[in-house]
Amino acid sequence: MSYDFHGPFGGPLDSVTGHNAALMENPNEPEVAMAVADFNVEAAVSLFESYGVPKSKMNVGLAFYGRGFGNVPKEGNNGLFSSYKGPASKGTWENGSFDFWDLQANYIDKNGYTKHIDTLAGVPWLYSETAQCFISYDD
């Protein structure tokens, strides 16, 4: 499993918005050291390799959905690593959970949401200042 590393779950590891399934570490993430170093696909694969699992025996699970954070003020980097209060007030199946088809149809550079890219983590995110919503997803 290489997703749900961050979401609108609350608690010390999710005190700010973050990537649902970052491919690589973003050292600018303001979380505890373990999360910054280990909550990404590259680190997960490396961990299994360190225990002797060959890459040829691994399958990386991908999230075909987005995690939405609610009440995200525009702080710093278009909602990335910003404070939030709970899940987004909308979603495909429930508040804060968006199917990829829904993101494509209604959110990616649409309806006030702008796509941004974290080049360090290797993943996109969406942010709407009007809706105060941050959505982490993979494309």
> Which domains are assigned to the chain?
1-139 (3.10.50.10)
* Model pLDDT for residues 49-71, shown as the tens digit of each residue: 999 999 999 999 888 999 999 99
* Model pLDDT for residues 57-111, shown as the tens digit of each residue: 999 988 899 999 999 998 778 999 999 999 999 999 999 999 999 999 999 999 9
Give a three-class secondary structure readout of the chain.
CCCCCCCCCCCHHHCCCCCCCCCCCCCCCCCCHHHHHHCCHHHHHHHHHHCCCCHHHCCCCCCCEEEEECCCCCCCECCECCCCCCECCCCCCECCEEEHHHHHHHCCCCCCCEEEEECCCCEEEEEECCCCEEEECCC
Task: State the pTM of this model.
Answer: 0.91
